[in-house]
């Protein structure tokens, strides 16, 4: 199996894991960022990173403010995603 076939297979595996809502969310995030000229490996890395950020993480609380657990930028209570890195946030107690 060539490297290109492995990369394509991996991309297909990632895309199969996504439901329509997740796909649309990731697509919006990609469109929000600058247009990138990526090869298959670059696209795989971007999609994998975005999938990781779809897993909800609890914001950190310190010194009276909430921060994103991924990039440590200040977020507002109730934000669904970090405005800076796109990490999905879990506010449930």
DSSP 45-78: HHHHHHHHHHS-BPPEEETTEEE-TTT--EE-TT
Domains of the chain, residue spans: 3-54, 56-93
- Return mean pLDDT, the chain: 75
Mean pLDDT of 57-77: 94
Share of the chain above pLDDT 90, in %: 26
Residue 68: band (very low, low, confident or very high) from pLDDT cuts 50, 70, 90 = very high
Q: Flag whether pLDDT at 27 surpasses 70.
A: no
**pLDDT computed for residue 24 by the predictor:** 67
């Amino acid at each position: 199996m060539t490297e290109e076939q492995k990369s394509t297979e991996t991309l297909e595996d990632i895309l199969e894991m996504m439901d329509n809502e997740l796909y649309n969310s990731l697509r919006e995030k990609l469109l929000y960022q600058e247009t990138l000229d990526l090869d298959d490996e670059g696209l795989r890395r971007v999609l994998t990173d975005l999938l990781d950020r779809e897993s909800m993480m609890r914001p950190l609380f310190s010194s009276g403010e909430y921060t994103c657990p991924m990039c440590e930028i200040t977020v507002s209570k109730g934000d669904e995603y970090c405005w800076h890195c796109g990490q999905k946030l879990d506010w449930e107690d």
